[in-house]
């Protein structure tokens, strides 16, 4: 990664005797540690230590009473984890339901927000249009506002007599009761062709205690409204990343291919898109990392209802700990989620490291998106 190489360059002993002037540099060791102490203390206390403590709690049956670090708390070993994966029961069913919900959530949110963000960036990057900076801000504005406040607005938009249903009514569609409808959209589509109940093969078995029919439900109608909200709030951020990537596409390349007679689509497909590949990869992985963490919206809008179809691992871990007082299971769910996200992060870092060795990066403060392009 570029930052690592930069750090390496900065820490490498400088050439020549200039660096070794003991007089001025001698107290830097002490000062250096003093300067970083507050940050280390806070990050250590509230980031590192908690992870270790939670790892311990995930191996116990702590119910929130007293301290989890006394001998009175029953140690259960890996039981909280096996409960989630191998033992038949409510814990596994809820956990697997939340995993299913989140998989559908990721598979819809990530491609949609990426395509939308790229589309918006291409429009806003168009040299012929005026007033783009206004629209750029408009698209980005939802990303900076409070997720809770926005969720309140979308609760109203998707209310039974809300704006979305009013809009659907204009084109003659009778909108659903968004937050009361637990039907999966894939089930609904099958219903259209007359398949309303599962074929025997799908109704019986299935991995991890859910039937195949359940796994294949698709996101519920309620989940669709949360998905809409998230795509709407995150596209602006990713649009800015694509915009930064587009600024790196040399204009001459575009013009040369125009002269060669390439059509607009051909230029996009064979010139712009390949050059945007690092940005696209970044947007996709950041999107996935973010999508596995969806919490605020679920908390405010649905609390996992209806029929657990908006339950996500992040919300389930919170609910298990703070509502059912089963802190051990809650912490175990957190760790499984942690693992998923760490894997995604590592993939992303790897790919970025490869990209950065090709193109040494410049200082972060340098403007990559001019005010007027």
Partner 1 sequence: MAVLTDRPAAAPARRDERAARTLATRFLGYATLVFFGLVFLYPFVIQIGNSLKTEPDAAANPLSPFPDPLTLAGFERIFAGTNFPLWLGNSLLVTVLVTVGRVFFDSLAGYALARLRFRGRSGLFAAVIAVMAVPGVVLLIPKFLVLNQLGIYNSYAGLVVPLLADAAGVFIMKQFFESIPVSVEEAARIDGASIFRTFWSVVLPMAKPALITLTILSFQGSWNEFPHSLVSVQDPDLFTLPRGLADLVSGSLGSGTQYPLKLGAALLATIPVAIIFVVFQRYFVRDANDGSDKG
Site for partner 1 in 213-252 (CB under 8 A): 232, 236-237, 240-241, 243-245
To the nearest whole angstrom, how small is the minimum distance from the Cβ of residue 329 to partner 1? 10
Find, among 84, 116, 126, the residue nearest to 287 by Cα. Answer: 116
Per-residue binding letters, 172-211, with partner 1 (x by CB under 8 A) = ----------------------------------------
DSSP secondary structure letter of residue 18: G
What 4-8 contacts at long range (C-beta under 8 Å, 24+ apart), as own/partner pairs, is: 5/356
Say if CB 283 and CB 114 are below 8 A apart. Answer: yes
CB of 266 to partner 1, least distance (A): 16
Measure the CA angle with vertex 97, ends 55 and 74; round to 5°: 30
Instruction: Please provide residue 191's backbone torsions phi and psi, each rounded to the nearest 5 degrees.
Output: -60, -35
Inter-residue contact 107 to 85 (CB < 8 Å)? no
257 binds partner 1 (CB under 8 A): no
Output the CA angle 100-105-106, nearest 5 degrees. 100
Q: Does 372 bind partner 1 (CB under 8 A)?
A: no
Query: Of the candidates 78, 115, 153, 203, which one interacts with partner 1 according to CB under 8 A?
Result: 153
By CB under 8 A, name the one of 255, 270, 274, 325 that touches partner 1: 255
Q: Which stretch binds partner 1 (CB under 8 A): 85-93, 95-103, 140-148, 212-220?
A: 140-148
Q: Determine which residue in the list 75, 87, 88, 141 makes contact with partner 1, applying CB under 8 A.
A: 141
User: Measured from the CB atom, is 127 or 193 closer to partner 1?
Assistant: 127
Among 364, 320, 284, smallest CA distance to 97 is for 320
Using CB under 8 A, pick the residue from 65, 78, 87, 145 that binds partner 1: 145
Residue 275 Cβ vs partner 1, minimum distance, rounded to whole Å: 14
Nearest to 310 by CA among 182, 158, 206: 182
* Site string (54-93) toward partner 1, x via CB under 8 A: x--x---------xxx------------------------
Whole-number Å distance between alpha carbons of 328 and 317: 10
Q: Which is nearer to partner 1, 35 or 75 (CB)?
A: 35
Per-residue interface string for the shown chain with partner 1, residues 270-289, x marking contact by CB under 8 A: ---------x--x---x--x
- Binding residue for partner 1, selected from 206, 296, 308, 347, defined by CB under 8 A: 296
User: Using CB under 8 A, which of 15, 77, 90, 128 touches partner 1?
Assistant: 128
Task: Identify which of 226, 243, 19 has the alpha carbon closest to the alpha carbon of residue 123.
Answer: 243
Give the count of alpha carbons within 13 A of 96, CB side only.
Answer: 22
């Amino acid at each position: 990664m570029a930052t690592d190489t930069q750090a390496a360059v900065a820490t490498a002993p400088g050439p020549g005797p200039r660096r070794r002037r003991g007089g001025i540099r001698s107290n830097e060791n002490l000062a250096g540690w003093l300067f970083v102490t507050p940050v280390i203390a806070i990050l250590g206390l509230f980031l590192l230590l908690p992870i270790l403590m939670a790892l311990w709690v995930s191996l116990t049956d702590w119910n929130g009473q007293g301290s989890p670090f006394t001998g009175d708390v029953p140690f259960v070993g890996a039981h909280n984890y096996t409960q989630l994966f191998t033992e038949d029961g409510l814990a596994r069913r809820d956990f697997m339901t939340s995993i299913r919900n989140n998989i559908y959530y990721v598979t819809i949110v990530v491609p949609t927000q990426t395509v939308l963000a790229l589309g918006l960036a291409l429009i806003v990057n168009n040299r012929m249009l005026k007033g783009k900076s206004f629209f750029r801000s408009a698209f980005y504005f939802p990303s900076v506002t409070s997720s809770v406040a926005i969720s309140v607005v979308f609760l109203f938009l998707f209310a039974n007599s809300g704006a979305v249903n009013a809009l659907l009514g204009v084109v003659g569609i009778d909108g659903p009761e968004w937050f009361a409808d637990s039907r999966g959209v894939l089930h609904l589509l099958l219903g259209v062709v007359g398949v309303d109940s599962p074929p025997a093969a799908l109704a019986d078995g299935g991995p991890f205690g859910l039937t195949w029919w359940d796994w294949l439900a698709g996101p519920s109608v309620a989940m669709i409204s949360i998905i809409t909200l998230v795509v709407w709030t995150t596209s602006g951020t990713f649009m800015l990343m694509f915009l930064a990537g587009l600024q790196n596409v040399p204009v001459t390349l575009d013009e040369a291919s125009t002269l060669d007679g390439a059509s607009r689509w051909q230029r996009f497909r064979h010139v712009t898109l390949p050059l945007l590949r690092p940005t696209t990869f970044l947007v996709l992985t950041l999107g996935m990392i973010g999508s596995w963490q969806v919490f605020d919206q679920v908390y405010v809008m649905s609390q996992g209802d209806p029929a657990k179809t908006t339950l996500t691992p992040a919300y389930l871990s919170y609910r298990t700990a703070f509502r059912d007082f089963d802190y051990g299971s809650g912490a175990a769910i957190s760790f499984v989620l942690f693992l998923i996200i760490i894997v995604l992060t590592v993939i992303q870092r790897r790919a970025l490291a490869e990209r950065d060795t090709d193109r040494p990066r410049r200082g972060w403060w340098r403007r990559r998106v001019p005010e007027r392009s």
